[in-house]
Structure 1
Amino acid sequence: MDPSRSQDDPPPRFIDNPNNNAMNQPDPSDFDIADSLNRMSLANAAAIPLPTSPSLLSPNDVSSRPIPVNQQPAPRRTPSSSSLRDERRKSIPALQKRQSTASLRSVSVTNGPSSPLADSSRRSSANFAGSPTSAASPAMLPPRLAFAPPEPQGPTAASIAAEHFQKEVDLHHAVDLGSKTVVVIHDACYGHRFSRPRTTRAQLSTIVERPERIRACVVGIAAAYVRLGRRHAGELFAPHPQLDLHLLPPPPFQIRKSSRSLPLTDEAVTSVHGNLWMTELKGMCDLAESRLALTGKELVRNRTQENDGLASSGPELHSGDLYLCSESQNAFQGALGGVCDGLDLVLGPGPTTRAFVCIRPPGHHCSADFPSGFCWINNVHVGISYAATQHGLTHAAILDFDLHHGDGSQDIAWDHNRKAWFASRKSSPYEKTPIGYYSLHDINSYPCEDGNPDKVRNASVCVDGAHGQSIWNVHLDTWGTEPEFWKLYKTKYAVLINKARTFLRNHTKRLTENPTGPPPKAAIFISAGFDASEWEGAGMQRHRVNVPTEFYAKFTADVVRMSEEEGLGVDGRVISVLEGGYSDRALTSGVLSHIAGLGNASADTPPSRMPSLAATLTKETMKPSQSEYDIDWWSPQHLEELEALVAPPIKTRDKSAPTFLNSTRSFSAKVVTPTWERKNFGSYPGLEPSLPPLPDVGWATAAHELSKVLIPEDRQTMSCKPEDLNAAASRQRLERQVALDGGVMNPAIIPPPLQPLLTINGNFA
């Protein structure tokens, strides 16, 4: 300290600016600032003159007054925070040490669950940077630290997984990764929603075929990819920022998001459903939105003049399990486009031989000219028609393990085989394609639930070879223990695979022996419904017949092995198309199990392609066996772990709302987060901490983040809520009333839910 300066005089201000000598002079205005600070009403400090804080002076204040004669500028030096702190301790012996308990708590500990809570009404001014009593202000720190940016937050397991899977999915869409299995998803399928106005919550609960089904399936797809692909902590290919995707072996299956749309009037569709019905359905879809707005009834068939009346063009459509909206046609055509994309990959020249097509609405209840059971178009039969026309498919077998009998699929197959039996050489390829149908279902459930004799009889037909037919139906039985179920599987349910094998072998032999006919090219189609799952809702399982989740993996793996047998003409080609399944857990676990049986075989890739991993990879790690899945993947505890991330419990109150228990902005700004990788953001000499390891990405976190990448964020993917449908009804009613009143709207009659829709001129937005 300068001996020529008295103890009561304020210290001169030091500013680190060598190019401006005037700024190195103490500012006489400091005396005014000190004088005003002395008059501040601080406890026990009324008589203590407060020294001037260097942080309170600006460069403009330096030359405004002459320097007193008895004070000479001290030699220029760069102050350190420690020297300034010592000077402040000497000049303020009592005031700086009298911090409130609230400020001590807020500065010394983090605001954790067990830490004392700071009293927001008694925060000390020492908590604010730049205050006169602050222990350290930016001007007291070295210049390089005075304005240092806040340190970045470290990565979380979720952020690591999200970044990794976004890159991996982008790679799936860009190149062919050489996988034998592909999973096809189509975002247009979310658009088919129940949209009738004035629908109560109870009525809406009966519509079990909803867009949420696709979301639950996508979670199952993501879980299967993470499990089979070993993309989680403890496995070889766990997500990591430094993991090079190009060095990975082919994934267990390739994920493709289709955008293809097959028109309802396409030949592949009309060959199955006819031109008249498809034209009528297209017209109903075009008018659905206006009919919903005017009358709330969209299921109005075309009228024809018969017997001087207005007879319908066909039987009345059941409004309890059929509905249309403005996006239904896009969903129908998108679903068919997804099936065609899957067939192009399986039947094309590439390595893909198996596909799971995740689409809705389902199709196996739809006959050639009549929809039912939420099914408007028979997706599988249209796929067979497309494959026969575009890829030379000669015969096909359908294996259906939905809880409900596929009455529409069986009716189409029966009528088609009857015509194919007498087809001539001039017939189209599809007209000459034999189709076998093999179903495992509950005889007491829909469509046989009311005991209709024709439905029950058709769901029990077993014909093998007579009149060109190959139809076989097996009914589900109740069971007590899993050994009992697997005995049923071996002795009763596996018969369907044997019947399909016989059908495929016989027609392959027939075509091989015909020198003038086409070469045999067969495929197996699976109608994959998961409503027989042990996790399906009680309403759907009211007859108490179900299957364990492992059934889907076991049955699918057996079908894949059968498809690769010699003499069947299949050559491993299996196309699975989503049918039923309505509870989230039934769909998620069922799809996980199904894909585990369908797609866990990777293409042969020698370790030499991966020099960085060659030391740890072997042929065993590169090529899992066909039966390599773990039933623990869909155990209840693991499903609960995944569901806790996908659909967390509803909070009773919003914990993010400001309360007295929340930290303030000033406190949050003071909390120093651990530095995870300072080298990426610059470092300060002598301050480099040890780098903590990156967090592990657990399987549930990985599956959840992958599902978020696959589920679109730019469109509606959920069902309409009752309040939305009621608001739409109120809006339509008001619009009609306004039209009757000559276009004049009275704002007083507008209910609160519709008031945000009004524009400035009083009309609806």
Structure 2
Amino acid sequence: MTTALLTHSDALGHVTPPGHPERVARLEHVLHALEPLDLMRVTAPMAAEDDLLRIHPRSYIDMLRDALPEEGFAQLDPDTFLSPGSLDAAWRGAGAAVRAVDLVASGEAGNAFCAMRPPGHHAETETPMGFCLFGNAALAARHALDHHGMGRVAVVDFDVHHGNGTQDLLWDERRALFVSSHQMPLWPGTGARDETGAYDNVMNVPLAPGTDGGRMRAVYQEEVFPRLRAFAPELILVSAGFDAHADDPLANLEWEEEDFAWLTRELCALADELCGGRLVSVLEGGYDLAALAASARAHVTELKEAAG
């Protein structure tokens, strides 16, 4: 078995205004860092509209289409922009998440990483925000549940910002467990411990500014991993944001590359223990280019090691 890497050049066509942190160079640096690794390289397909309709209403998809500019930028909120290539990028990001689940569920790949942008975990049911347009991790979860007939899936989000979009999209989904560790206080201001989902299917683990890798490891060992074992998912999905890195300009946690490697290794071990190794990871944040590239490579190297 091997690790599948899903990407597409369309993801480079989502252009943001000068100085915007979620920029084309993010993906260029990630792909350059992953280039030496021996991976199953898969072209990310466009998502089918029926797939997107699992999580977003048609009115939302139509709104994005109507807002797409022919040139320049369209601003959806203070942080979120569309350029002429943005929807192709977003549709391929959603398609990558769906295809990755297919590859792992069928046994064609041991696990998978979707190196796409824009990210997805802030996109709510009818609201684009936080650089995000479609909820890729939530879509992957619903695809696994509805298309592959899995009974339980877990989404683990270690991005430094709370995955409010994934939480919103899975709030009423009793078959999914959403776990988010994130800095608090920090934008978007959600993710308190008392936000637990309609069926006690949401677990938020706020971390204080300055939390380092040692404290993160203790929190995951004491709180997150036991919850995942109790839930016993048939697939683990990961929202892999690397902006908890000490060098990231948008937040104040103090993780290093080896912390992302450790967390990935532990999640892969849990996937091996609970669900035949089935794990799909999607790229979220990370805004210091060097830290992002190094952390993504550490993450995918551990995926590759786990896939054998």
1:712-727 aligned at under 5 Å gives the runs none
Letter in 2 for 1:590: S
Deviations 1:383-414 (A, max 9, x none): 22223333223221010100101111112211
The answer on 1:340 being equivalent to 2:153 is no
Which of 302, 319, 323 is the aligned partner of 2:81?
Answer: 323
Classify 1:414/1:349 alpha carbon distance in 2 versus 1 (closer, same or farther; 3 Å): same
| 1:184 matched residue in structure 2 | 6
1:384–1:396: 8 Å Cα contact kept in structure 2? yes
1:51-62 aligned at under 5 Å gives the runs none
Which of 536, 546, 550 is the aligned partner of 2:258?
Answer: 550
The answer on 1:492 being equivalent to 2:249 is no
The answer on 1:535 being equivalent to 2:250 is no
Classify 1:469/1:189 alpha carbon distance in 2 versus 1 (closer, same or farther; 3 Å): same
Letter in 2 for 1:336: A
1:441–1:475: 8 Å Cα contact kept in structure 2? yes
1:105-504 aligned at under 5 Å gives the runs 179-194=1-16, 204-205=18-19, 207-222=20-35, 225=37, 251=38, 253-256=39-42, 258-263=43-48, 266-285=49-68, 288-289=69-70, 292=72, 298-299=74-75, 317-318=76-77, 320-350=78-108, 352-417=109-174, 434-448=175-189, 455=190, 458-461=191-194, 463=196, 468-477=199-208, 485-486=213-214, 488-494=215-221, 495-504=223-232
Deviations 1:557-615 (A, max 9, x none): 111111122xx4x2110000000001111111111111122111464xxxxxxxxxxxx
The answer on 1:597 being equivalent to 2:289 is no
Deviations 1:507-535 (A, max 9, x none): xxxxxxxxxxxxxxx21100000011123
SS in 1 for 2:256: coil
Alpha-carbon distance in structure 2 between the residues aligned to 1:408 and 1:377: 9
Letter in 2 for 1:324: L
Letter in 1 for 2:255: V
Alpha-carbon distance in structure 1 between the residues aligned to 2:217 and 2:158: 15
Deviations 1:194-226 (A, max 9, x none): 26xxxxxxxx32x11111111111122135x2x
SS in 2 for 1:530: coil
Deviations 1:715-757 (A, max 9, x none): xxxxxxxxxxxxxxxxxxxxxxxxxxxxxxxxxxxxxxxxxxx
Alpha-carbon distance in structure 2 between the residues aligned to 1:384 and 1:438: 13
Which of 263, 276, 281 is the aligned partner of 1:571?
Answer: 276
SS in 1 for 2:74: coil
Alpha-carbon distance in structure 1 between the residues aligned to 2:306 and 2:271: 14
| 1:12 matched residue in structure 2 | none
Letter in 2 for 1:327: G
Q: CA shift at 1:366, angstroms?
A: 0.8
Alpha-carbon distance in structure 1 between the residues aligned to 2:107 and 2:269: 21
SS in 1 for 2:96: helix
Q: CA shift at 1:467, angstroms?
A: 5.3
Classify 1:575/1:283 alpha carbon distance in 2 versus 1 (closer, same or farther; 3 Å): same
* Bigger Rg, structure 1 or 2: 1
Classify 1:601/1:272 alpha carbon distance in 2 versus 1 (closer, same or farther; 3 Å): closer
Q: CA shift at 1:356, angstroms?
A: 0.7
Alpha-carbon distance in structure 2 between the residues aligned to 1:479 and 1:587: 19
Q: CA shift at 1:340, angstroms?
A: 2.2
Q: CA shift at 1:490, angstroms?
A: 4.2
1:269–1:385: 8 Å Cα contact kept in structure 2? no
Question: Identity of counterpart residues, as a percentage?
Answer: 27
Q: Report which structure shows greater RCO (CA 8 Å, sep ≥6).
A: 2
Q: CA shift at 1:259, angstroms?
A: 4.7
Letter in 1 for 2:192: A
Identify, as 1 or 2, the structure richer in strand: 2
Alpha-carbon distance in structure 2 between the residues aligned to 1:558 and 1:575: 14
| 2:235 matched residue in structure 1 | 523
2:141–2:155: 8 Å Cα contact kept in structure 1? no
> Aligned Cα RMSD in Å?
2.2
SS in 1 for 2:81: coil
Alpha-carbon distance in structure 2 between the residues aligned to 1:183 and 1:597: 13
Letter in 2 for 1:284: A
Alpha-carbon distance in structure 1 between the residues aligned to 2:11 and 2:263: 27
1:563–1:574: 8 Å Cα contact kept in structure 2? yes
Alpha-carbon distance in structure 2 between the residues aligned to 1:376 and 1:582: 18
SS in 1 for 2:229: helix
1:220–1:588: 8 Å Cα contact kept in structure 2? yes
1:726-765 aligned at under 5 Å gives the runs none
Alpha-carbon distance in structure 1 between the residues aligned to 2:33 and 2:226: 29
Moved over 4 A (4+): none
**Number of residue pairs matched by the alignment:** 307
Alpha-carbon distance in structure 2 between the residues aligned to 1:216 and 1:534: 18
SS in 1 for 2:79: coil
Letter in 1 for 2:74: E
Classify 1:254/1:389 alpha carbon distance in 2 versus 1 (closer, same or farther; 3 Å): same
SS in 1 for 2:70: helix
Alpha-carbon distance in structure 1 between the residues aligned to 2:44 and 2:277: 26
1:399–1:439: 8 Å Cα contact kept in structure 2? yes
Letter in 1 for 2:51: A
Classify 1:467/1:274 alpha carbon distance in 2 versus 1 (closer, same or farther; 3 Å): closer
Deviations 1:609-644 (A, max 9, x none): xxxxxxxxxxxxxxxxxxxxxxxxxxxxxxxxxxxx
1:190–1:331: 8 Å Cα contact kept in structure 2? yes
Letter in 1 for 2:10: A
